[in-house]
Amino acid sequence: MGTVHRSRRPCNDHLVDGPIGPYVDALKQYLTDRRYAATTAASYLGAVAHFARWARSRRLRINQIGEASVVQFLDDHLPRCCCTGLTRHDRGDHSAALGHLLVVLRARGAIAAPTIGRTPVYEELVRYDEYMANVRGLMTKTRSAALLIIRRLLVARFGDGPVNIAEIEPAIVRRFFAQQAELYKTPASASLVVTSLRGYFRYRASLGDLVHRLIGAVSYPANWKLSSLPKTLTTDEIARLVGAMGQPGRAMRRADAIVRCALDLGLRSCEVARLRLDDIDWRAGTITLRHTKGLRQDVLPLPAATGEAIAAYLKDERPKTSNRAVFVRNVAPRDEPIGPDLVRKAIRQAFGRAGLPYTRSHLLRHTMANRLLASGSSLKEVADMLRHRSLNTTMIYAKLDSRHLVEVALPWPGSGS
């Protein structure tokens, strides 16, 4: 808890006097639009006023305010602050408030875009990320994992200097892969390094670089792709999970609807987070998934239990908002959809309430596939429901299809059958 000093002069007066003064109203409107609580908004304005007083004492002009000055204020001034006035010394509040301030100042064109980290490697990664998003249609999580690996390679080879792909030799790529493979526990996870490297080198090849020898410099580690069984919930565990729904409490209806979307429809976390009100056709009993993996659009039937859970959330718990997302935040910044992390958290907490020792949200997607097979659906139907582009991706679930496996099983040698 930060120390507070008081004086007769309101601390927020420094907002008006300093270089930030012309943007005070815009900052207040920004916080109001995102429905921050009055106490939180007042705390943020006080933190910004503290920064404004410090900026004025340093004679900073508005165009000199940015990440560098914020870091200097937080690291150098705040720990030793002896300012008079209504001043808090909480670093977290100051950091959050100044982050909002920079957003507002940039939206108003008062300061330039951030330049921290804009090295040649950074610019290269930005271009590659745009390529992965717009040309290959890869999801954010996949792109982030690839960028992390490519960044390690480029920084290790070029540092802060220019990126010259011709200076990367196959031996460098092989050594890099050997180092990175030690960070992963299984051959399947180490394959991510190979996939990321080859994807990047193919991107460079599309630009005209001669990198074909780099593409073949590493190969995937030996891994029996279908050697394991996908983990699923048992019938009893499904009953326990469903039985734990409907509990009173904050955000419980939202959690129930999220679990239903994953359990009944096999939706990924990002797909749940992106659902919009316009995607649900209540009369036809369908739900449309837009911008899914591979940037496709799919229409799925909406089960009654799932529809009832979503309807209960929309009617009784969803906060009033102008946002068209189905699932929205309950805390500031409001009027914004939840993210995939919150979806995964809601499912983990649902497991905990049911007394189940699981944490992975993808487990419900596997469970849905297993339930389809148990009810007599074919692998093709499962692939369609899971929206797999290749039937090979769905083949792992063939091991769960005991109904058909019994028909093709050979008698055990020496048995009476």
Alpha carbons 70 and 95: distance in angstroms, whole number? 8
The answer for 36, left when phi > 0, alpha when psi is -120 to 50, beta otherwise, is: beta
Any catalytic annotation for residue 14? Answer: no
The residues with which 286 forms a beta bridge, in sequence order, are: 281, 301
Any catalytic annotation for residue 388? Answer: yes
The answer for 246, left when phi > 0, alpha when psi is -120 to 50, beta otherwise, is: left
Alpha carbons 58 and 95: distance in angstroms, whole number? 19
The residues with which 328 forms a beta bridge, in sequence order, are: 337
Contact 316, 253 (CB under 8 A): yes
Alpha carbons 323 and 46: distance in angstroms, whole number? 29
CA-CA-CA-CA torsion sign (124, 130, 132, 136): negative
Contact 350, 367 (CB under 8 A): no
Any catalytic annotation for residue 50? Answer: no
Any catalytic annotation for residue 365? Answer: yes
Catalytic-role residue among 50, 365, 366, 371: 365
176 three-state secondary structure: helix
Edge-to-edge strand ranges of the sheet holding 286-289: 280-281, 286-289, 298-301
Is the bond preceding 333 in cis, omega lying within 30 degrees of 0?
yes
For residue 222, give the amino acid letter. A
DSSP codes of every residue in 393-407:
HHGGGGGG-HHHHHH
Catalytic-role residue among 136, 151, 293, 399: 293
Alpha carbons 15 and 109: distance in angstroms, whole number? 18
Distances 3 to 46, 79, 84, 141 between C-alpha atoms, Å: 13, 11, 11, 40
Catalytic-role residue among 88, 94, 268, 387: 268
Any catalytic annotation for residue 212? Answer: no
DSSP codes of every residue in 246-262:
S--STTHHHHHHHHHHH
Q: Which residues are catalytic?
A: 268, 293, 362, 365, 388, 397
